[in-house]
Amino acid sequence: MAKKIAVVLSGCGNQDGAEITESVSTLLALSECDANYQLYAPDMSFSAKNFLTGKPSGETRNVLQESARIARGQIRALAELDPADFDAVIFPGCFGAALNLCNWGEAGAQCHVQPDVERVIQEFYRLEKPIGAICIAPALIARVLGHRGVTVTLGKESGASAEVLKTGAHHEVCAVDDFITDRENRIVSTPAYMYDGAKPFAVYSGIRRAVREIIEMA
């Protein structure tokens, strides 16, 4: 029977939303595994950026509406996600995960997590269903489940990985085209664009391998 996977997006674009290559790579890998998937995003506002300048654009946009660009309109509000209906959940990364799903980008290990995001992570963990996290999203998982001693990767040792350790989570170094599995806690993570300037195919390779691990574990 085909596995059913929830994918949680955080907008559209690396500077203020979900990284597009990471998101599309996730969907390609899931479809290669013949998995069924449903995309979700929180229905909430955020302050958009001008991607040409990297500065605030002055616009307020909606995370769900922006995520719908990647999802080709086939997306639901995160409040509707029932973990009992799925075999696993995956969080693509970049700044949307660190600014919209939580405020890790501002507060690090002391960040606050968006309530539906925390609910989803806690419930998948309670049901012993796999949780996948890409790029900076493993830090989000660490914030929610660090007290459980979970293991994640952000790629290289860095200021961000030092913050992960403050949550109680463990951090392992990992190449861009590889992944780390915490089999005891059923968490799979891959660094993707935590390696600045990584080639898209290397990012895809790591995500593809991580997704196949998640499907096998689910």
Domain parsing of the chain, residue ranges: 4-217
Q: Are 133 and 155 in contact (CB under 8 A)?
A: no
pTM beyond 0.85: the answer is: yes
Determine which one of 12, 94, 135, 174 is catalytic. 135
- The span from the CA of 134 to the CA of 206, in Å, is 9
Is 33 part of the annotated catalytic residue set?
A: no
At the second CATH level, the architecture of 4-217 is 3-Layer(aba) Sandwich (3.40)
Mean pLDDT value across residues 177-194:
98
Please identify which residue in the block is written with the tokens 């479809």: 31
Cβ neighbors of 184 (< 8 A, separation 6 or more) are none
**Is the pLDDT confidence value at 138 over 90?**
yes
Band of residue 199 on the pLDDT scale cut at 50, 70, 90 = very high
User: What pLDDT score was predicted for residue 35?
Assistant: 98
Token pair for residue 47? Answer: 């302050």
Phi (first) and psi of residue 43, to 5 degrees: -90, 90
How many of the other CB atoms lie within 10 Å of CB of 68? 18
Mean pLDDT value across residues 59-64:
97
Mean pLDDT value across residues 201-214:
98
Mean pLDDT value across residues 179-199:
97
